[in-house]
Structure 1
Amino acid sequence: MCGRFGFYELSHFIEQLRQLELPFEEAPGFGYRQSWNIAPGSSVVTLFGDHGRYRLGMARWGLIPHWSKEMPKNRPINARAESLAVKPFFRHMLNRRHCIVPASGFYEWKPAGEKRKEPWYIHRRDDRPMALAGLWDEWQPPGPPSPPLRTCTIITTGANREMKPVHDRMPVILEEAEWAAWLDSSNRDTTRLLDPADEKALDLWPVSTMVNNPRNDTPECIERVAESAS
């Protein structure tokens, strides 16, 4: 799964978009701040694919489908790649509303002894920002007229060999050559992109338990610490 991540490299991500010749426009009110500890429910930087247009904006992390009559209690932050086409929550967005959620790295918690879990930080070995495959939707809150709310979920798949000692799931990390293909939601063959990251593409290490509290949002969250003895 992916339940916490950081993003502090917007300029690098924008440079990648320009190098790939993916023209984009900024959504009105686009606002970004560096974060090393992004929790569910936060507004996250999102590159929306929308019928051939790319828009860089913000979305709330935790999906609300457009057909919800009220704010649902279940707002999934993750969607399993294997069941996107059959789960009612997600199938209406597959091949309709794809997005990329950029991340500098993400966290996962590894069992470390009885009733203990140790946080690990995972990022690309080449230090480029990650492009996490996602789905998005737009929901109109009931009641007095108000702006629609854009929300997103991050797609997960089985872990690759590097991740398996930490967790059996991981977010789908798209390679640069796959970005345009994933954002083209009319492409019916995009599910082939939803596989684990290449072996040796990632670097990972244990970090302090300070990341367990989302109020701790500083570069110290990603600093390496000694691994606990199991």
Structure 2
Amino acid sequence: MCGRFVLFTESLLDEVGKWEGIEEVHAPEGLPPARYNIAPTQPVAIVRVQERAARVEPARWGLLPHWKKDLDGSPLFNARAETVATKPSFREAFKRNRCIIPLDGYYEWKAEKPSPSGGVKAKGKKTPYYVTGPEGMLFAAGLWATGMERLSATMITTEATEEMAWLHGRLPKFLTAEEIGAWLVGEPLLEPSNVTGFKVRHADPAVGNVRNDCAELIAEQPPTSLF
């Protein structure tokens, strides 16, 4: 799954402009501010494409289907690839409303095995990690909707690839440059990501509090002592 992520790249419009077939890129509400701890229900930047024009817009992270009447229930911030085509919450958006969710990296928490000495890695402790792509930005497959008269989005997840399974059993469906256009026009592309070469490092434990939102969260962390 993906429940927290980072987007700070000022060159977002330039990066989107590099996509195959894109001739124009617009951000009618301006560029998103730098964020280092984006959480569900908060605004995220999404990219929708019509013909050869890309549009970067803010959307609520947590899909609101057209039939949604209130905000009750858990936010639909992830959609499982295995059921997205059939689950009522997602199937209409999967058929018609594709988008891309750009990010510079995301956080994942891993339950650490307890240390034999009973040290820092106590039973039940989860360690936050910060994950980035092999180079530059990551682009995740997403869906959008306009239930409750507001733009909202969700991120597709798949089983983790062999490379990333040690960290978590799920992984966002990150798209290669060649796959972005295919996703936007309706190709399924629901298999685990073809992106490889992820970089993983420890994140500041303060990321666990959604009120913390600063660049220090992704700074290199000192090694954790086991004693």
Whether these two folds match at TM > 0.5 is: yes
Q: How does 1:110-189 map to 2 (within 5 A)?
A: 110-112=110-112, 113=114, 114-126=123-135, 128-140=136-148, 148-185=149-186
Distance in structure 1 (CA, Å) of the matches to 2:195 and 2:48: 28
Distance in structure 2 (CA, Å) of the matches to 1:125 and 1:30: 28
Distance in structure 1 (CA, Å) of the matches to 2:216 and 2:143: 30
Structure 1 position 221 matched with structure 2 position 217: yes
Structure 1 position 41 matched with structure 2 position 77: no
Kept after mapping to 1: 8 A contact 2:104/2:132: yes
Kept after mapping to 1: 8 A contact 2:23/2:52: no
Q: What stretches of structure 1 of length at least 5 have no aligned partner?
A: 141-147
Q: What root-mean-square deviation, in Å, do the aligned CA atoms of Structure 1 and Structure 2 show?
A: 2.1
Q: How does 1:53-64 map to 2 (within 5 A)?
A: 54-64=54-64
Give 1:17's aligned amino acid. Answer: V
Give 2:128's aligned amino acid. Answer: P
Taking structure 1 as the reference length, the TM-score comes to 0.86
Task: Give me the identity figure in percent.
Answer: 35
| 1:105-127 deviation line (CA, Å, top 9, x unaligned) | 0000000231110000111122x
Distance in structure 1 (CA, Å) of the matches to 2:51 and 2:95: 10
Distance in structure 2 (CA, Å) of the matches to 1:51 and 1:93: 18
Distance in structure 1 (CA, Å) of the matches to 2:28 and 2:54: 13
Distance in structure 2 (CA, Å) of the matches to 1:2 and 1:138: 22
Residue 90 (structure 1) shift: 0.4
Distance in structure 2 (CA, Å) of the matches to 1:52 and 1:72: 37
Residue 105 of structure 1 is matched in structure 2 by 105
Give 2:48's aligned amino acid. Answer: F
Pair 202,228 (structure 1): closer, same or farther in 2 beyond 3 Å: farther
Q: What stretches of structure 2 of length at least 5 have no aligned partner?
A: 115-122
| 1:57-106 deviation line (CA, Å, top 9, x unaligned) | 11010111011133332321100001111110001111200010000000
Distance in structure 1 (CA, Å) of the matches to 2:129 and 2:28: 35
